[in-house]
């Protein structure tokens, strides 16, 4: 798994997952989602635009903990949360999505969560494009659907 993470520009961090972190969740309504962007697959800047928006949201909403650490959940919750940090030259929406964080470059499907569980930044693919959005306090969202 470290090799796949490395191709996406992610480094595994020791320390594991903090106690009490919410399980991976989905099914947020529009009331809980904010600050996102939707990019059509035909856009020649698809991967670049998704990477830029993801990082902008992550910084603005406090995703990164001490040392830039955060939790990552691949598609479908496979393997549970992983504690990671971005490495120089990271590419979650391109190399990451084509290896294990989605179906192909520009077609992401993963969730990033702050170590304190206060915000999630989600990347998802849809029929005509892909999007990135944030969810504040994802553990308190009512009507959520738990994976796994």
Per-residue pLDDT of 84-97, as tens digits, reads 999 999 999 999 99
Least confident span in 4-8, 36-40, 95-99, 136-140:
136-140
Quick: pLDDT tens for 6-33. Answer: 999 999 998 888 888 877 666 666 667 7
Q: Count the Cβ atoms, other than its own, within 10 Å of residue 31.
A: 8
Mean pLDDT calculated for residue range 105-122: 94
Of the CA atoms within 13 Å of residue 127, those in its CB half-sphere come to 0
Is-contact 136 118, C-beta < 8 A? yes
Token duo for residue 108: 């992401």
| Bigger pLDDT: 39 vs 80 | 39
Per the prediction, the chain carries an average pLDDT of 87
């Amino acid at each position: 798994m470290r090799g796949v993470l490395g191709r996406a520009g992610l480094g595994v961090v020791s320390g594991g997952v903090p106690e009490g972190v919410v399980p991976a969740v989905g099914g947020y309504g529009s009331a809980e989602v904010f600050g996102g962007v939707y990019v059509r697959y035909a856009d020649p800047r698809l991967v670049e635009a998704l990477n830029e928006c993801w990082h902008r949201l992550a910084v603005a909403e406090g995703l990164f903990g001490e040392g830039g650490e955060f939790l990552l959940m691949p598609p479908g919750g496979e393997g549970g949360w992983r504690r990671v940090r971005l490495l120089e030259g990271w590419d979650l929406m391109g190399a990451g999505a084509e290896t294990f964080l989605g179906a192909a470059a520009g077609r992401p499907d993963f969730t990033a969560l702050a170590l304190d569980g206060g915000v999630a930044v989600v990347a998802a693919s849809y029929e005509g494009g892909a999007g990135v959005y944030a969810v504040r306090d994802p553990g308190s969202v009512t009507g959520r659907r738990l994976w796994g």
